[in-house]
A and B are shown apart, each in its own frame.
Chain A
Amino acid sequence: MTDYSALTFTAEHEWIRLEPVSEGSPATATIGITSYAAGRLGDVVFVDLPEVGAEIANGSVVGEIESTKSVGELFAPLNGIVLAKNQSVEDSPELVNSDPFGEGWLIKVEFTELPELLTFAEYQALLGDDALTDDETDRAGA
């Protein structure tokens, strides 16, 4: 079960989770794509993520998520520096489908300023009929 209220979203169907950090440390966020995006792509078979240390600029393409049928681009949702990429997801791209909000996370980023992002309610409104349900992650993994 995912606690969506702890997440913020982009219109490009990415989710951002702010990580708790000790005082004085730079703010960090974990980034992934939503179950809606994973479902639209189909079975993910290849994930290309930015290298650790790479500087990413809000709105730029920093990675690719390929399914059997199509290619999805990963947009940087904020300005920052890549702290970690999910090696497991590069080795087992199906994690993006089976657990998009958990094991299927993509990158961790250090940032100083947060741009305006969508709240869960706003993202749900954007999805309309396709709004996420509580069992979304279970269904995506079925």
Chain B
Amino acid sequence: MTADPPPPAPVFSPLHAVHVAANASFTDFAGWQMPVRYSGDLAEHHAVRTAAAIFDLSHMAELSIHGPDAAAFLDYALAGKLSAIALGQAKYSLLLAPSGGIIDDVVVYRTGESEFMVVANAGNHEVAFETLLERSAPFDVEVVDISDDLALIAVQGPRSREIVAATTALAFDVVKPGTVHTDTVHTDTLQVGTVQTDTAQVDTVQVDTPRSAPDARSLESLKYYWSLTAAYSGEPILVARTGYTGEDGFELYVPVRLAAELWRDLVTAGEPYGLIPAGLASRDTLRLEAGMPLYGHELSLDTLPAQAGLGRVPNLSKGDFVGRAALENAASAPTALGAETGGAPSAFVDEGETHSPSTPSRVLVGLVGDGKRAARAGYPLYADDTPGGTLDNAAGDTHDDPAPAPIGEITSGVLSPTLGVPIAMAYLDPAFAAEGTAVSVDVRGKRLPFRVTPLPFYSRKRA
């Protein structure tokens, strides 16, 4: 998101003409011209929270991983245990550098016994592909960039299941051989059993009942972070119950040539439910309310998973994987990487170090403020020692030092459309990271009070 070399000619989504016709405003995102909004950020945001909206995410990168060693390769190349997910299942994971830093965060879908799809961020398209390709050398596996073949359409919001079901050209009762097998349920049960005992027991009961087999291929029974193959205009498309908004929703991976037609069909089916097209602006405010990290803001090559609250993504009970040794070292060190920078208190390590919000040992927290003024990415955080948290001179009055060192930095912030208060994510020195701690943010020269609050800021009511 910061200054990069000027991008080459913009890339257009296969749905670009549809967006132009819908009067979208566009923004550059990782070299792509993508819709930033149609009717308005707030209307689009509220549509996702109360009804549904449709997003074009065709800028995302899709990488196909297939071959006899596919599962073993991903267990080595990514931080999670991807061999443990069942056919049709999806899993959030991390692509780590040997340093333990985050190259990208990805969602992995198992689309076959020896076949996976890794979905990477648009901004990390090249590095994710090249890193996986490089790491695949010792394995009997192929890594293929299929991004140019696929468009990605997301339907998100509480009415999204009804909308996808009402899209008559989408057929969910047809199962293509080689994509979603008839033994899905069986595999599912085995795999769930290895991961989580409680769930396994529940699922086993379901499997023993005859009705569960067809259910596993129906939209109604498709669980969150599972996918299935539907037929659209006679072609298989992957329909996943995944998303980045904090609401129920679906992501549809569709061949480029069918994308515009599917978009129109979904819009037509969705209109009675209040579905509207939504752009990247609302996508960002939605994911922030849901406490979801965004690469380039909360995640970077200088961030260890544990700092970002993703300590449970790397699976240390599996075999070796890239980044493992660094994570184990960090875990055994007293203050993570902070100890290796010379043992200085982290508040004073700032100068001369690489400038990253996640300066070693800082941790990601949620912050909530008063009033209407947002704290935005890059704004510094200071200790707030004044009882009651008065606005002005809070730090200056209580310290002799006229320029106290920042204790952290905002990575994302907005006036929450759903909650009506400023919310932000920030990296903070651990001494200030406890829930309820009062801090102050320098908002363009004015100190505004915020307090540490658990993530996410917003959770949908689950049925």
Contact = CB atoms under 8 A, between A and B. Distances in A.
A71 B374 CA distance: 9
Interface in B297-349: none
A68 B285 contact: yes
A97 B415 contact: no
B25 interface: yes
B414 interface: yes
Interface in A67-118: 67-69, 71, 93-94, 97
Which secondary structure dominates where chain B touches chain A? mixed
Interface stretch (B6-14, B35-43, B244-252, B432-440): B35-43
A42 to B, nearest CB: 5
Contacts of A68: 41-42, 45, 281-282, 285, 414-415, 417
Interface string A25-39: 000000000000001
A66 interface: yes
Nearest to B372: A46
Interface residues of B, number: 21
B281 A69 contact: yes
Interface string B281-301: 110110000000000000000
A39 B37 CA distance: 10
B376 interface: yes
Contact of A42 (B37, B372, B374, B376): B37
Which secondary structure dominates where chain A touches chain B? mixed
B415 A66 contact: yes
A46 B373 contact: yes
A45 interface: yes
Given A46-B373, A46-B415, A48-B373, 5 more contacts: A45-B372, A46-B372, A64-B444, A69-B36, A97-B40
Nearest to A67: B41
Interface of A: 39, 42-43, 45-46, 48, 64, 66-69, 71, 93-94, 97, 142
Contact of A43 (B41, B373, B374): B41
A97 B41 CA distance: 12
B373 A66 contact: yes
Contacts of A94: 42
A64 B43 CA distance: 22
B81 to A, nearest CB: 37
A46 B25 contact: no
A45 B415 contact: yes
Contacts of B414: 68-69
Interface in B364-415: 372-374, 376, 414-415
Given A42-B37, A46-B415, A97-B40, A69 B284 contact: yes
18 contacts: A42-B40, A43-B41, A45-B415, A45-B417, A46-B374, A64-B444, A66-B372, A66-B415, A68-B41, A68-B281, A68-B282, A68-B285, A68-B414, A69-B281, A69-B284, A69-B414, A71-B376, A93-B372
